[in-house]
Amino acid sequence: MKKVAIIGAGISGLYLANVFNNNPEFDYRVFEKREDFNFSKGYGIQLSVNSIKLLNKIGFKNLPASEVFFPSKVNFIQSNNSKKICDIDLNQFNDNLNRYTTTKRSTLLKFLSKNIPNNKIKFNKTLNHLDYADDIKAYFSDKSQENFDIIVIADGVFSKSKFIISKESLKPEYNNSVALRGILKKYQDNNISIFMGSNFHYVVYPVNQNNEYNFVAILQKKLTNSDLNNEKIFQSKDFINSLMKILNNNSSVNLQNLTEIQAFPIFVSKSFPVTNKKNIFFSGDALFSFPPSFAQGASQSIETAQEIFESIISNSDNLYKERISRIYSINWRSKLNIFTFHLSNPINIFIRNIILKYLSKNKIFLKNYLGKIYKN
Ligand SMILES: Cc1cc2nc3c(=O)[nH]c(=O)nc-3n(C[C@H](O)[C@H](O)[C@H](O)COP(=O)(O)OP(=O)(O)OC[C@H]3O[C@@H](n4cnc5c(N)ncnc54)[C@H](O)[C@@H]3O)c2cc1C
């Protein structure tokens, strides 16, 4: 029986724990920095069919229908006048069993944690050091130590554990943008709507069948290092209000009903962690974190975790070759999306809207730009 340590009980780590849980050849443990799961926030997550296919295999399809939503379109809307430019039909990427899904992040995490026995998850623990011999000796923050055959690093975008393995400078970079998240009630829309403004965009979508909507805005914002190191800035009412003012002044949607608003800086990866150790893997945002404009971070975290499992089972070396090429294709799409959504010059906006109208109905483009990513 192989012993596996998964560092981080987020989307990637917990998905992988489920896969190991269904496979008695492995004895796994999940080590999580927090003292418990954080199910309190109601923010949303979009899951495209590539990850839904994998999630359904571990029982996601059995969740009560009221806790998920299946949007059928993505609407592109000009923020200042709420004029719809075009839409993309998401049904073309679905099949009979797997559909593009939106839900609450907490619903996904509750689902992923439900089948993991309590004794398999160790809270309040971080990795301090590794020693390599026949197996890998892991030393933890509470001074405990344990031997493992395989270590999977899945501790998110600010992964500290990857520095223990890959000594290079792998710090994520500030993406010159800030995210605002909130819950929108008293709103009516059965689709995902992307509102495009000058140097910002925001996305609204239902997260369940109870009229709760996720709101997420990405606004360009230059910040100094000292701002970025000061968490209090992002919690301050003045900072949040100044961002909301930009949105309210440039949007014809009533955002007054927005609750639970939170601001945080967006950090993205510039490079990949490397190791010559065969039994060490990086998954999810710890491997690579994208700008959040293609809604693929969580889906890719799930895909990577699945590929890590398959690579362990088949003893293959191909994991990162294929993964890195997929990461490149998602990363440039995410950057192109942000550029397109945030245009501010009226002539550029006019041209963009014509191009969007054309491309949103062009089957070949959609197959290449979205289909390639959604159908893994
Ligand atoms: C504004 C925004 C909107 C997004 N929307 C979407 C979307 O709609 N669809 C989508 O697919 N993706 C989306 N994403 C991306 C997605 O949220 C992430 O890619 C995904 O959560 C990454 O999963 P993960 O498991 O790698 O990391 P996480 O989910 O961040 O989990 C990491 C876990 O590791 C723990 N941890 C941290 N440090 C340590 C340590 N040293 N030791 C032990 N444990 C540790 C953390 O507490 C956490 O539990 C969005 C991202 C942002 C910023």
* Cβ neighbour number for residue 354 with a 10 Å cutoff: 11
* Mean pLDDT value of segment 340-353: 98
Q: How far is the CA of 85 from the centre of ligand 1 (A)?
A: 32
Q: Where are the alpha helices (DSSP H) in 297-344?
A: 297-314, 319-341
- For residue 154, name the pLDDT band (cuts at 50, 70, 90): very high
Q: Backbone phi, then psi, for 267, in 5-degree steps? A: -115, 140
Closest atom of ligand 1 relative to the 11 alpha carbon = 25
Closest atom of ligand 1 relative to the 37 alpha carbon = 49
Q: How far is the CA of 309 from the centre of ligand 1 (A)?
A: 19
Please check whether residue 31 is in contact with residue 127, taking contact to mean a CB–CB distance below 8 angstroms: yes
CATH fold of the domain at 2-171+269-374? FAD/NAD(P)-binding domain (3.50.50)
Q: Work out the burial of residue 7: count CB atoms within 10 Å of its CB; fewer than 13 is exposed, 13-18 middle, 19 or more buried.
A: buried
Closest atom of ligand 1 relative to the 297 alpha carbon = 19
The domain locations on the chain are: 2-171+269-374
Please check whether residue 44 is in contact with residue 5, taking contact to mean a CB–CB distance below 8 angstroms: no
Report the chain's mean pLDDT, rounded to a whole number.
94
Q: Report which protein residue has its CA nearest ligand 1's atom 14.
A: 297
What does the alpha-carbon distance between residue 351 and residue 353 come to, in Å, rounded to a whole number? 5
What does the alpha-carbon distance between residue 134 and residue 132 come to, in Å, rounded to a whole number? 7
Q: What angle do CA 328, 330, 331 make, to 5 degrees?
A: 65
**pTM of the predicted model as reported, rounded to 2 decimal places:** 0.96
Instruction: Return the CA Rg of the chain.
Output: 21
Q: Which of 29, 32, 219, 287 to mutate to test the pocket of ligand 1 (most atoms within 8 A of CB)?
A: 32
Q: Which of 6, 11, 302 to mutate to test the pocket of ligand 1 (most atoms within 8 A of CB)?
A: 11
Tens of pLDDT, residues 256-303: 889 999 999 999 999 888 788 889 999 999 999 999 999 999 999 999
Closest atom of ligand 1 relative to the 283 alpha carbon = 26
Please check whether residue 371 is in contact with residue 335, taking contact to mean a CB–CB distance below 8 angstroms: no
- For residue 221, name the pLDDT band (cuts at 50, 70, 90): very high
Taking 70 as the threshold, does the pLDDT of residue 335 lie above it?
Answer: yes
Tens of pLDDT, residues 70-101: 999 999 999 999 999 999 999 999 999 999 99
The residues lining ligand 1, judged by C-beta closer than 6 Å to any ligand atom, are 7-13, 31-34, 45-46, 126-127, 154-156, 160-161, 179, 216, 266, 284-286, 292, 295-299, 301
